[in-house]
Copies of this chain bind each other. A is one copy, B any other.
Amino acid sequence: MSKIETRDLVLKVAQEFVQTRGFNAFSFRDVAERVGIKTASIHYYFPTKAELGRALVAQHREHVGAALAAIDAEEHDPRRKLARYVYVFKSTLEVGNRMCLCGMLAADFSTLDQMIVDELRRSFEDHEAWLTRVLEAGMESGAFTLSRSAKDEARLLISSLEGAMLIARSFEDINRFEECVRSLLGRLIPVSGDQINQSHN
């Protein structure tokens, strides 16, 4: 087997460290030990830690792009698309209580090289563009009731999901995330006939 796999393994392990510890709380040594190589070998693939970070976000953008394309291909109902989208975040929490890669890097923002920041922003914009399209389609079909522009709703949704992950993670309580999701989705989806009041408790 070619050793090209090493590069992928380094990326995989590094991504897990970023998502659980943050970009500044893991070292080449941590990655090397988990991969079973020496730190010098990591530098062979990624000259600097910043380059590793950039590659990490670039790869992540590709993966997310493919995942969103798969959702588009498999689902037609905007509500189902949205549910699948939210599940991506939920499953990240489920596997090792990880934070979203981009959310974590957003926290590390001020310590990151510009090239990582650029890639990070593009990643957020990818999410925003996809979600905006889904919300617009849902608005036109009557699946969603938006009180603001689809773009604004998309941004709020992303922000809320990131924040919900961040806090639920710190409580090690995925229920906190799911509660937020229910509230978020409940506000978008018009109630067919009954309730929608404010006088319960």
The answer to whether A198 and B21 touch across the interface, beta carbons within 8 angstroms, is no
A179 at the interface (CB under 8 A from B): yes
List residues of A (19-45) whose CB comes within 8 Å of B's CBs. 20-22, 24-25
List residues of A (96-110) whose CB comes within 8 Å of B's CBs. 97, 99, 103-110
Closest to A177 in B: B159
A184 at the interface (CB under 8 A from B): yes
Using A22-B107, A24-B25, A111-B22 as known contacts, say yes or no to A163 and B155 having CB atoms under 8 A apart.
Answer: no
Contact of A187 among B21, B166, B187 (CB under 8 A): B187
* Closest-CB distance, A123 to chain B (whole angstroms): 10
Contact of A111 among B21, B110, B117, B168 (CB under 8 A): B21
Using A147-B196, A159-B160, A160-B163 as known contacts, say yes or no to A106 and B180 having CB atoms under 8 A apart.
Answer: no
The answer to whether A21 and B148 touch across the interface, beta carbons within 8 angstroms, is no
Residues of B within 8 A of A148 (CB): 182-183, 186
Chain A interface residues (CB < 8 Å from chain B): 20-22, 24-25, 97, 99, 103-111, 117, 120-121, 124, 139, 144-149, 152-153, 155-156, 158-164, 166-171, 176, 179-180, 182-184, 186-187, 190, 196, 198, 201
13 contacts between A and B (CB under 8 A): A21-B24, A22-B111, A24-B25, A106-B166, A109-B170, A124-B167, A147-B196, A153-B183, A156-B184, A159-B167, A159-B168, A162-B163, A163-B166
